[in-house]
A and B are shown apart, each in its own frame.
Chain A
Amino acid sequence: MTNLQNLLKADKITIARAITQVENGTDPKLLEEIFPHTGNAYYIGITGPPGAGKSSLVNAIVPKLLENNKKVGIIAVDPTSPFSGGALLGDRIRMNDLALNENVFIRSMATRGSLGGLASKTKDVALVLDAAGMDYIVIETVGVGQVELDIAQVCDTTVVVLVPESGDAIQAMKAGILEVADILVVNKGDRSGADRLILEMKFAFELRAHNTDWHNPILKTTAIENIGIDELVSTIKSHKEHLEKSGKLEIERKNKLTLRVNELIEERIKSHLHEYVIDQKQLKKMIDKAYERKITPQYIIDEIAKKIF
């Protein structure tokens, strides 16, 4: 197929169109075709609250990732408005330094109703960039708060970005955000409170159960002035090395693949259920009865389950 060949040659128009097709689900065969060509890119996730400087950090770290003629694909996710279905995708504003680089491909994605910090198709779009020969894929989530942790199920290294204004360490401790951080960055490090937050976070990390031999580093950066960026990039690279040498990269990628396959099976079963198993008319009648308190929801579930098991 010539399209696939163009994609593998990293022709930008072909990549862009393939992403659109994957995003809109208009060419189900495409993912099948590209899958054998994926698995070569290293996935880096950048997450954190709105305004923490995620896009600016991406703008700062990517030039370093490009050294030695590497290619980088960037997926920047911004929220879809639940009211209009539209989205204002503005992450590119902070990535101007990268816009004209031959070896960079940037794609903005709207969440389109998904709530985990990524769009539901982000994983598939990443596969397109992977097949197109990107060495690194950097995925930036929407600004997240406490529970949006999809990113860790996609990326090999997850960088969590906080700022002195994010609140104290207790905020971060109750949020699952600490658990997904392979590397923690306190950005806007020139602001007052940065050093205090770093100290608090170090303490919070010490309280965590130590079931890994990776000691989550906490770094201070000022992205727009390029301060602390060298160290961040070398820490990402040493995390990569750590995963590769310990054999964890393979284990974790298999875990992620398992998760993904389970997810897709569930989706398939769900749509089958709604299309073929559950008789909506009959269900409606039973709901009416349940509303009258003549039967219970559990009874309805048992009745429907009988058809399957």
Chain B
Amino acid sequence: MEKKIRILIGKPGLDGHDRGAKVIAAALRDAGFEVIYTGLHQLSESIVEAAIQEDVDIIGLSILSGAHMTIFPKILDLLKQKNAEHIIVIGGGIIPEEDIKKLLKMGVKRIFTPGAPTNEIVYYIKSIIH
């Protein structure tokens, strides 16, 4: 049996707009992934802990609040502390071009911005996992 791709979709911080995260979660499920959705208003700590316990291949964060420069580094740092750097971090949201460059440098694998087709995201994830 082909190994199932497991991904955690998280909404860290205070923004309450989860439409995008739900659309992505549904698209990934339809692509055959096992998607763990943790709901709104998550602490970075809870997201990392959940990702470890669920043994996911990848964490996808949806951030629309502007807090991306705080939250992404925190998640990467927590993963490092917990010896879980093997978990890949990607993200999506309203994130300016210059911030994307910085985030990629820090170790975020990829950032998708509004308008990214869901099949592109699916294809990307499959290509980095297999």
- Among A57-90, those with CB < 8 Å from B are 80-81, 84-90
Q: Are B82 and A88 in contact (CB under 8 A)?
A: no
Q: Are B46 and A16 in contact (CB under 8 A)?
A: no
Report if B52 contacts A (CB, 8 A): yes
By secondary structure, the B interface counts as mixed
A17 to B34, CA, bound (A): 16
Q: Are B53 and A12 in contact (CB under 8 A)?
A: yes
Select which of A24, A90, A107 is within 8 A of B53 by beta carbon. A107
Q: Are A84 and B84 in contact (CB under 8 A)?
A: no
- Among A8-38, those with CB < 8 Å from B are 12-13, 15-17, 19-20, 24-25
- Provided the pairs A17-B55, A99-B50, A107-B54 are in contact, do residues A86 and B39 lie with their beta carbons within 8 angstroms? no
- Among A70-120, those with CB < 8 Å from B are 80-81, 84-90, 92-93, 96, 99-100, 105-108, 110, 112
For B36, what are the chain A residues with a Cβ–Cβ distance below 8 Å? 89-90, 92, 108
- Among B5-63, those with CB < 8 Å from A are 6, 25-26, 28-39, 42-43, 45-46, 49-50, 52-55
Report if B83 contacts A (CB, 8 A): yes
By secondary structure, the A interface counts as mixed
Chain A residue at minimum C-beta to C-beta distance from B56: A16
Select which of B34, B38, B42, B84 is within 8 A of A13 by beta carbon. B84
Expressed in whole angstroms, the minimum distance between the Cβ of A133 and any Cβ of chain B is 15
Interface size on A, as a range, is 20 to 34
For A16, what are the chain B residues with a Cβ–Cβ distance below 8 Å? 52-55
Chain B residue at minimum C-beta to C-beta distance from A17: B55
Q: Are A88 and B29 in contact (CB under 8 A)?
A: yes
- Provided the pairs A25-B1, A96-B46, A100-B43 are in contact, do residues A88 and B54 lie with their beta carbons within 8 angstroms? no
For B105, what are the chain A residues with a Cβ–Cβ distance below 8 Å? none
For B4, what are the chain A residues with a Cβ–Cβ distance below 8 Å? 24, 85, 110, 112
Report if B3 contacts A (CB, 8 A): yes
For B83, what are the chain A residues with a Cβ–Cβ distance below 8 Å? 13
For B35, what are the chain A residues with a Cβ–Cβ distance below 8 Å? 86-89
A85 to B6, CA, bound (A): 12
Q: Are B45 and A86 in contact (CB under 8 A)?
A: no
A301 to B99, CA, bound (A): 68
A92 to B39, CA, bound (A): 8
Expressed in whole angstroms, the minimum distance between the Cβ of A57 and any Cβ of chain B is 17
Chain B residue at minimum C-beta to C-beta distance from A74: B53
Expressed in whole angstroms, the minimum distance between the Cβ of B92 and any Cβ of chain A is 17
Q: Are B25 and A93 in contact (CB under 8 A)?
A: no
A13 to B50, CA, bound (A): 11
A244 to B29, CA, bound (A): 43
Select which of A24, A85, A105, A107 is within 8 A of B3 by beta carbon. A24
Expressed in whole angstroms, the minimum distance between the Cβ of A91 and any Cβ of chain B is 9
- Provided the pairs A13-B82, A84-B31, A88-B29 are in contact, do residues A93 and B38 lie with their beta carbons within 8 angstroms? yes
Chain B residue at minimum C-beta to C-beta distance from A21: B55
Expressed in whole angstroms, the minimum distance between the Cβ of B72 and any Cβ of chain A is 20
Q: Are B53 and A85 in contact (CB under 8 A)?
A: no
- Could you show 21 A-B contacts with beta carbons less than 8 Å apart? A12-B53, A13-B83, A16-B54, A16-B55, A20-B55, A81-B30, A84-B29, A84-B31, A84-B32, A86-B30, A87-B35, A88-B25, A88-B35, A89-B54, A90-B39, A92-B36, A99-B38, A100-B49, A106-B50, A107-B54, A108-B36
Interface residues of B (CB under 8 A from A): 1, 3-4, 6, 25-26, 28-39, 42-43, 45-46, 49-50, 52-55, 82-84
Q: A17-B55, A20-B55, A96-B42 are in contact. List 17 more A-B contacts (CB 8 A).
A: A12-B53, A13-B83, A16-B52, A16-B53, A20-B6, A25-B1, A85-B4, A86-B30, A86-B31, A88-B25, A88-B26, A88-B29, A89-B34, A90-B37, A93-B37, A100-B43, A106-B53
Lowest 4 A-B CB distances belong to which pairs? A93-B39, A86-B29, A16-B55, A99-B46
